[in-house]
Amino acid sequence: MSFLINNTIGADDAYTLGPLQAGPPCCVPEPLIRVENLSLHYGGKPALENVSLDIYKGCITTLIGPSGCGKTSFLSALNRLTDMIPDCHISGNINFANKDIRHPALDVQALRRDIGMIFQKPTPFPMSIRRNIELPLREHGVSKRTELNDIVQQVLQDVGLWDEVNGRLESPAQALSGGQQQRLCIARALALAPKVLLMDEPCSALDPISSGVVEDLIQRLREKYTVVIVTHNLAQAKRIANYAGFFWVKEQAGCLIEFGQCKQIFDSPTHELTAAYVNGIRG
């Protein structure tokens, strides 16, 4: 599928992020986010128990596992979106670039600027394509017209959307197709120059072709950005990720069963649950 899409859609020169890169392993592991003993409860109900793992800089880390095992909760904890959920309690340590992100005095808005998030359902705001990208930028203090224009063009080129929407930047973003909307959301996140992008099943609401386009885009993000992606598409995980974490539900709480290089997780998992899951026997 990926092969077919690469040949039909998105000639390389439509993107400015650089060429597609073939899968793992990519780099010398250098932890950017360190999670230690993370537990997460919703109103007394445990969702995650004792998760420890490192997110490596410039790599794509995928989180796999069945629904309800806390992958999304884990992701939301990394940029403190869990603050938005009432009754959500977190314990453990999360360090991002050697800073404790759970520190009460931490500037959460700045943290979320550094750690962006893409959701399963594309969430363009009900406004023009241009304003979708400019609104968060203005909130973060970018107000010069020329600067805004440059960033808008740059990020739209980055996600390969520029040629498709150039000339109709003022039209409503919600008139775009699902795949275009999702790429716009990625562009909107990139506009803030984040260091990390969290992606919560970014392709699962899209048709296979759009999904392929977005998947290619994610691969182009490698090295420039650190990507953590939750996916239920194991083939996709295998294709794009450098590292993989396998989550499972144990005693009604999600936990991390195994973490390692993507190739190792898929080809020679050490845990029998992982083996069963990646081979499609369970899950």
Partner 1 sequence: MSKSDLARVLIWLAAALVSGVFVWLLADILVHGLSRLSWSFLVEAPRNAGRSGGIGSIIISTGLILLVTMVMAGPLSLATAVLLSEFSQHDSVFRCLVRPSLDVLAGVPSIVFGLFGNAFFCIYLGLGFSILSGGLTLACMVLPVLIRTAEEGLMAVPNDYRMAAAALGMSRSAALVHLLLPAATPAMVAGSMLGIGRAIGETAALIFTSGYVDRMPESLFDSGRSLSVHIYDLSMNVAGGDANAYSSALVLIILLLVINSITLRLAKQWLHKSVAV
Segment 79 to 118, residues that bind partner 1, using CB under 8 A = 79, 81, 84, 86, 108-113, 116-117
Q: Which stretch binds partner 1 (CB under 8 A): 35-43, 128-136, 176-184, 265-273?
A: 128-136
d(CA 279, CA 183): 31
Using H for helix, E for strand and C for coil, what is the string for 240-261? HCCEEEEEEEECCEEEEEEEEE
Q: Is 190 in the site for partner 1 (CB under 8 A)?
A: no
Determine phi and psi for 178, rounding to 5 degrees.
Answer: -55, -45
Q: Is 172 in the site for partner 1 (CB under 8 A)?
A: yes
Q: Is 125 in the site for partner 1 (CB under 8 A)?
A: yes
Q: In terms of CB distance, is 176 or 244 closer to partner 1?
A: 176
CB of 110 to partner 1, least distance (A): 7
Q: Is 141 in the site for partner 1 (CB under 8 A)?
A: no
Q: Is 183 in the site for partner 1 (CB under 8 A)?
A: no
Amino acid at 124: P
- Burial (CB < 10 A; 0-12, 13-18, 19+), residue 126, is exposed
Q: Is 42 in the site for partner 1 (CB under 8 A)?
A: no
CB of 185 to partner 1, least distance (A): 7
Q: How far apart are the first and last CA of the chain?
A: 23
CB of 114 to partner 1, least distance (A): 8
Q: Is 185 in the site for partner 1 (CB under 8 A)?
A: yes
CB of 277 to partner 1, least distance (A): 28
In the chain, beta strands by DSSP E? 31-42, 45-56, 60-64, 88-96, 99-100, 115-118, 196-200, 226-230, 243-250, 253-261
Task: Determine which residue in the list 126, 145, 146, 167 makes contact with partner 1, applying CB under 8 A.
Answer: 126
Of 226, 249, 269, give the one whose Cα is nearest residue 34.
Answer: 226
Task: Determine which residue in the list 92, 136, 178, 260 makes contact with partner 1, applying CB under 8 A.
Answer: 136
Determine phi and psi for 196, rounding to 5 degrees.
Answer: -125, 140
> What are the residues binding partner 1 (CB under 8 A)?
79, 81, 84, 86, 108-113, 116-117, 119, 121, 123, 125-128, 131, 135-136, 139-140, 170, 172, 185, 188-189, 192
